[in-house]
Structure 1
C-alpha cells in the first residue's frame, strides 16, 4: 500500500529554515557547536559554557528557534494523526511555532522568578542552562526525525510514539544528570528543589496530558 501523498512544500521550506539556522550556528561558533553535538556522550560543553551563560545568547537563540519550528512540525504531524488537522497551513504552523517558543520562554521566566523567591538561584541558573542545552539538542534531532516522517515513513501511532519516547528520554536524562552532578548542593536545599520540580517540571506536563485526553 502506497503512502498517502501530502503536500510537502511548506515542510520543505520549514526544514530548510531549520538547517539554515543550524548551519549559521555552526559557522558562528564551530568549536562550541562541535562540543554541543557531543552533549550525550561528553559533558565538556556543559562544564565549559555554563560559565559563559548569559540571559541572551545568540548561539542558544538560533538553536532555540530551530527547536520551536521542529516541535511545531512534529506537533502538527501528531495532531493530524488523531484529529485530521490541516498540517499544510502556513499560518497555523507559524502560530504554533511562535506559541511553543513563547510558552517555553514564559516557563523559563517563571522558573527564574520562583528560584529567586526560594533563594536557590545558583542551582536553578545552572539547571536552566543544562535543561535548555538538552532541549536544543532535541531540536537538532527533530530535523532528521521530521524529515523521515514527512518524506519516508507514513506517520502512525507507533512510530510517533517511538520518536516521542526518545525525545522524552533525552530530556529526562538531562534532568537526572544535573541532579547526579549537583547532589551535594541540592541536598542543602532539597525541599525547595523538590517543590520547584513538582511545580514547574511535573505539573505543566500533567496539565497538558489532561487537556489532550479531554479532546
Structure 2
C-alpha cells in the first residue's frame, strides 16, 4: 500500500476575495448613505427618474454616493479584463491583477481629464457633465450586475467557457442598451446637430483611445 503523501496546490484567491468583498462593502456603503437614491439607481435601465432627479446636482459625478460605485466599476471591469484576457490568451493569470486595475483606473482618469480639456475647447462643459453622469450611472450598474458572474469565474471555473462568454455578452449587451438610452435622451440634439455630435464623439470618445495606443506603440 502506497503511503506517500500527495501534495496539492491550493489557490485561495486571496486578492480576488479581498477585491470582491471590498466591492460588496462599497455597494453597501452607497446604499446606506442614501437608500432612496440607491433604489432609483437600480432602476436606471428601466426608468429615467434617477437620471432626471440627480443629474441636476451641482456636481453629480463627485459625491459620496457615486465615488464608491465608481471604485466598484474599476475593480469589476479590471477583473473582467484580466479574466477575459487570460481566457483569450492575451494575458497570463500570473500578471498582477492589482496592476491591471490600477492601469485601468489611471486610463479612465486620463480620459476623463482629456475630455474636460476638449470640452472646454468646444464649449461643451455643461453637456459633458450630464454625459459623464449618464455613463457613470450605467457603467456602475453594469458592474454590480456582473459581480456575481465574476465571482463565479473566480471560484468555480468548471464551466469557464460558458460563463466567460455569458459575462462578455452581457457586458456588451448592457453597454449597447445604455448607449441607446443615452442617445435617445439627446435625440433632439442629434437631430439638429448630427455633424456636431459626430465631431464631439470623435473628440471625446475615440481620440483618447487613439492617443493611448500611440503612446503605447
TM-score normalised by the chain length of structure 2: 0.81
Q: Distance in 2 between matches of 1:119 and 1:189?
A: 15
* 1:169 matched to 2:173: yes
Moved more, 156-165 or 137-146: 156-165
Q: Is the 8 A contact 1:138 1:170 kept in 2?
A: yes
Q: Is the 8 A contact 2:114 2:208 kept in 1?
A: no
Structure-2 change in CA distance of 1:108 and 1:118 (3 Å): same
* 1:184 matched to 2:188: yes
* 1:10 matched to 2:18: no
Alignment length (residue pairs):
205
**Cα shift readout 1:121-177 (whole Å, capped 9, x = no counterpart):** 332221111011111111212311111111234364553233112112222322221
Matches within 5 A, 1:129-148: 129-148=133-152
Structure-2 change in CA distance of 1:64 and 1:155 (3 Å): farther
Structure-2 change in CA distance of 1:154 and 1:192 (3 Å): farther
Structure-2 change in CA distance of 1:156 and 1:208 (3 Å): farther
* 1:75 matched to 2:67: no
Q: In structure 2, what is the equivalent of residue 195 of structure 1?
A: 199
Q: In structure 2, what is the equivalent of residue 124 of structure 1?
A: 128
Larger Rg: 2
Q: Which runs of 5+ in 2 are unaligned?
A: 1-8
Q: Distance in 2 between matches of 1:168 and 1:206?
A: 21
Q: Is the 8 A contact 1:186 1:193 kept in 2?
A: yes
Q: In structure 2, what is the equivalent of residue 40 of structure 1?
A: 45
* 1:61 matched to 2:79: no
TM-score normalised by the chain length of structure 1: 0.82
Structure-2 change in CA distance of 1:174 and 1:86 (3 Å): closer
Q: Which runs of 5+ in 1 are unaligned?
A: none
Structure-2 change in CA distance of 1:9 and 1:186 (3 Å): same
Q: Distance in 2 between matches of 1:159 and 1:99?
A: 25
Alignment RMSD (CA, Å): 2.8
Q: In structure 1, what is the equivalent of residue 3 of structure 2?
A: none
